[in-house]
């Protein structure tokens, strides 16, 4: 029902330019719920999250810690429709999607959350803190059933532009693997 509500949503202007709404993909009650920013061109075409170049890098990174959307991961975005030209989502667009994201986290019921990039981190945590302030800190998400441990890291699109930051992202993933108790 939540998926249908998201797919039918006309709560902001992005519904006019989208081809497909991207709800999410993966398993229920996963070890990790990955939350990205918003669909890009490929995702908007296919209706699936992280299927372009960033998605390939994300899948490869997850594989290094024994994680995949086919076995123990659920992948979603903070914003469910593509902003034209991949511009940053506007505050009113993030606000329109926020209740969906909160409900989705509750229903997916993840053991841990991995948030990718500043835009997603600010949307999930309802904060205007910088990525530098949030990365590398023990964080948690307040869910109805208790606190869900959360790791904020770099967005894969940023890592494609700045490969030297991959070492720092790798450290974030190791921390996540430990918290999510995934056997390597
Ligand atoms: N970038 C994102 O943040 N999400 C996607 O689904 C694809 C690229």
DSSP class of residue 85?
A: G
Q: How many CA atoms lie within 13 A of 84 on its CB side?
A: 6
Percentage, residues of the chain above pLDDT 70: 99
With a cut of 90, say whether residue 145 has pLDDT above it: no
Q: How many CB atoms lie within 10 A of CB 181?
A: 9
Q: Of ligand 1's atoms, which has the minimum distance to the CA of residue 157? A: 1
- Dihedral, CA of residue 96, residue 74, residue 156 and residue 163, to nearest 10: 160
Mean pLDDT of the 32-44 span: 98
Query: Is 36's C-beta closer than 6 angstroms to any atom of ligand 1?
Result: yes
Measure the CA–CA gap between 121 and 109, rounded to whole angstroms.
18
Percentage, residues of the chain above pLDDT 90: 97
CA torsion sign for 126, 120, 133, 65 is: positive
What φ, ψ does residue 151 adopt, rounded to 5°? -120, 130
Closest CA to 156 of 22, 61, 82, 43: 61
**Distance (Å) from CA 118 to ligand 1 centroid:** 13
pLDDT in tens, 61-80: 999 999 999 999 999 999 99
Mean pLDDT of the 31-57 span: 98
* Of residues 182 and 25, more confidently modeled: 25
Query: Is 74's C-beta closer than 6 angstroms to any atom of ligand 1?
Result: no
At residue 119, the 3 state secondary structure works out as helix
Closest CA to 156 of 66, 65, 47, 34: 34
With a cut of 90, say whether residue 144 has pLDDT above it: no
DSSP E strands in the chain: the ranges are: 25-26, 32-36, 73-77, 112-116, 139-143, 146-153
Q: Of ligand 1's atoms, which has the minimum distance to the CA of residue 37? A: 3
Residues near 62 by beta carbon (within 8 Å), at least 6 away in sequence: 32, 34, 68, 69, 73, 173
With a cut of 90, say whether residue 125 has pLDDT above it: yes
């Amino acid at each position: 029902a939540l998926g249908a509500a998201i797919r039918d949503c006309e709560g902001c202007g992005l519904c006019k330019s989208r081809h497909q709404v991207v709800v999410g993909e993966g398993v229920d009650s996963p070890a990790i719920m990955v939350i990205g920013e918003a669909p890009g061109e490929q995702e908007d075409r296919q209706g699936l999250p992280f299927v372009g170049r960033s998605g390939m890098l994300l899948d490869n990174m997850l594989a290094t810690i024994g994680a995949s959307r086919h076995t123990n991961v659920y992948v979603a975005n903070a914003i469910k429709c593509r902003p034209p030209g991949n511009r940053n989502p506007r505050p009113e667009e993030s606000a329109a999607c926020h209740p969906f994201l909160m409900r989705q986290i509750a229903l997916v019921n993840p053991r841990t959350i991995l948030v990718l990039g500043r835009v997603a981190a600010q949307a999930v945590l309802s904060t205007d803190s910088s990525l530098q302030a949030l990365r590398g800190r023990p964080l948690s998400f307040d869910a109805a059933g208790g606190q869900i441990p959360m790791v904020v890291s770099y967005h894969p699109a940023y890592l494609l532009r700045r490969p030297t930051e991959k070492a720092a992202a790798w450290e974030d993933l190791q921390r996540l693997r430990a918290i999510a108790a995934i056997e390597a």
